[in-house]
Amino acid sequence: MKPILPLLLVLAALGSLRAEEAKPAVQPAQETLAVATTNKVVKTEAEWRKQMTEMQYYVTRQKGTERAFTGKYWNHKGKGVYTCSACGVDLFVSDAKFDSGCGWPSFFQPLNTKMVAEHRDVSHGMIRTEVTCARCDAHLGHVFDDGPKPTGLRYCINSASIEFRAADAAPAKATEAKQP
């Protein structure tokens, strides 16, 4: 019976390590909406190319990054909602936007965490947490744990991956697909 005990302890420790590896590097923000419908948007690469600018395609479909301080929303101050440039779903609100000094639009939380998916990113010799649109898989940017209160998070988002809808504009349904 005694030889089995060390084996069980080793297996328990390995299971604990695996559980730690499965956790995202940055914990998601609390829910701001109770219900979300993802209704996946799936298109061919040709369809995506047809509806997007060259930069939008590069960023959202090829996981590119626009240069810092060059995107149209890095210093944007308007009140409203930032939507996915690929599928139109609401992602962030201006009240969660802050100036992080990084040169990209920064938010301390998404409008709805179910609409922003997180993935481990080990590209470029770094370990980061990539964020994508949960509805169409568009690359948005990355999330870091150096943001302000109340979440301590900084969603660093490419301007090419979002569009802005002013607060006084008619609201779109979160499940409404952007037409090409």
- State the greatest distance between any 2 C-alpha atoms of the chain, in Å, as a whole number: 72
* Residue 114 contacts residue 38 (beta carbons within 8 Å): yes
**Residues 115, 26: Cα–Cα separation, whole Å:** 16
Query: 89-104: string of b/e by CB count within 10 Å (b at 16+)?
Result: bbbbbbebbeebeebb
**Is residue 56 within a helix (H) or strand (E), and if so which, with residue range?**
helix 54-62
* Residue 173 contacts residue 90 (beta carbons within 8 Å): no
- In the DSSP assignment, the letter for residue 33 is S
Active site residue 156: yes
Active site residues: 156
